Homo-oligomer: A and B are copies of this chain.
Amino acid sequence: MNQLPRRLFGAVEAGGTKFVCAIGDEAGRLLVEERFATAHPSTTLPRMLSWLQGQERERGPMAAIGVGSFGPVELRRESPQYGSILKTPKPDWSGTDILGSLSRVFDCPIGLDTDVNGAALAEHRWGGAQDVADLVYVTVGTGIGGGAIVAGRPLQGLLHPEVGHIHPRRHALDASFKGVCPFHGDCLEGLASGPAISARSGASLEHLDAAHPQWEIEADYLAQLCAQLTLTLSPRRLLLGGGVMQQTRLLPLIRRRLQHWLGGYVDRPELAAGIDAYVVAPRLGAQAGVLGALALAIDAAI
């Protein structure tokens, strides 16, 4: 009995702290994966390229490659900088042409989006948001970023969502902390990222006991983000991941504060009795990013 040959895709999660390269198939299965720290572009990009070339030698040509990149990254195809990292506080990476480094070596189509838009797409296709076409994926870790799927498609626009840099109201127990964002000081990322927690409280969340005000402060800031997202992007589900969200005690605290900030105005069961299914943890966990890159590859090949 004949079988259709399985098409293979390259996937690159180009994260600010690590790169994940993988080969996968149309069903969202990863065959092989390689992880390494994001160092200088002059070593990191060649490492990505040679790993993918080695995989091609072993398995045959890739049908397409997908890249989910840390931001800000140029996503407008009409721009001469398409596929390059824009001005970033990350040393040495401003102006790095990730897409160009791939397209000079590989002939196949290359799909590109932010790592968080990719993760949102992966959760939509294979994870915890398969039943909704409008969702937001937020990661809370070293930074705070978000990706959005609107009517089934990743949202781009002028740049791409940068939800980590909205300005929440200051919590009453947190009036004096200056925040750690190099651009804004006390924007959301400056107040609620992992480094912000450590700077304010001298320890990461898992080392602070449940009565420590840091828990309440963190939940309030992230709930304000959820409220702003609900009132602007109107998603049908909010997925909160990243290192800080590994502390599962946060989710119920965030849900309660989200209801406080909305004040009953958005009259939807999803925001009342159904809130536990509205603000959720991602289902793909640490694989969301690389699976997102795989989804971008599949979509680029079609």
Contact = CB atoms under 8 A, between A and B. Distances in A.
A153 interface: yes
Interface stretch (A11-19, A118-126, A162-170, A205-213): A162-170
A107 interface: no
**Chain A interface secondary structure, helix, strand, loop or mixed?**
loop
B228 A155 contact: no
Contacts of A148: 232
Contacts of A162: 231, 234, 265-266
A159 B228 contact: no
Contacts of A232: 146, 148, 161, 163, 166, 228-229, 232-233
Query: How many interface residues does chain A have, given as a range?
Result: 35 or more
Nearest to A224: B167
A157 B150 contact: yes
A266 B159 contact: yes
A227 B167 contact: yes
Interface in A149-185: 150-151, 153, 155-163, 165-170, 183-184
A231 B265 contact: no
A150 B228 CA distance: 17
A261 interface: yes
Interface string A271-294: 000000000000000000000000
Interface of A: 72, 86-87, 134, 146, 148, 150-151, 153, 155-163, 165-170, 183-184, 187, 224, 227-236, 261-268, 270
21 contacts: A72-B266, A87-B267, A146-B232, A150-B151, A150-B157, A156-B234, A157-B233, A159-B234, A162-B234, A165-B231, A166-B228, A166-B232, A167-B168, A167-B224, A167-B228, A169-B170, A187-B263, A228-B228, A228-B232, A229-B232, A233-B233
**Can you list the 7 inter-chain pairs with the closest CB atoms, starting with the nearest?**
A157-B234, A134-B157, A232-B232, A183-B265, A87-B267, A183-B263, A184-B263
